Structure 1
Amino acid sequence: MTSKSDPKTVRWGMMATGGIVQTFTKDILVDPVTRGVDDIKHVVTAVASSSSKDSADKFVANYVEGKQGDTKCTAYGSYKELVQDPNVDIVYIGTPHSHHYQNCRLAFEHNKPVLCEKALTVNAEQAKILFDEAKKRNLFFMEAVWTRYFPLSIEIRKLIQDGKIGEVIRVQSDLSIGAIPEEAFDASHRMVNKDLAGGALLDLGIYALTWQFQTVYHTLPKEKRKAPKVVGTLMTQEPRTGADEATSMLLEFPVSTPSGKRNTHGIATTALRAHFDFERDQVGATPAVRIFGETGEIQVFGPIYRPSRYRLTFRDKEERIQDFSFVFPGDIHGMSWEGDEAARCWLEGKLESETMGWEESLVIMQTMDEVRKQGGLTYPENIESTEYPIDLAARGA
Structure 2
Amino acid sequence: MPPCCRGEPIALHPAGCGVKKFTNDVHMMDDINNNQFLAARSDDGPTEPISFPQPTIGNCELRSTLRAYDPTDGTCIELHDVIVSEGSGYAYWLRTTLRKAIYGSVVHCPVLTRSSSPSSVNADWVITKMECAIKIVELEELKSKGAAGEHRSENPLKEIAAVQHLMSTSSSTPQHVLSIFEAVQDEDNLYIVMPFCRDGELFDLVSDNASFDEIQTRSIMKQILVGVKAMHDAGICHRDLSLENVLLHEGNCQIIDFGLCLRVPQHEGLRRDTKSIRMKPQGKCGKLFYMAPEIYENTDAFNPYAIDVWSLGAMLFMMLTSSPPYDRPSPTDDMFVWFMRGEMEEIIKAWGLQLSSEVIDLMSGMMCVDPEKRLTLSEVLEHPWMKNL
How would you bin the TM-score normalised by the shorter chain?
under 0.3
The structure number with the bigger radius of gyration is: 2
RCO greater where, 1 or 2, for CA within 8 Å and sep 6 or more? 1
Q: TM-score, normalised by structure 1?
A: 0.26
Of Structure 1 and Structure 2, which has the larger fraction of its residues in helix? 1
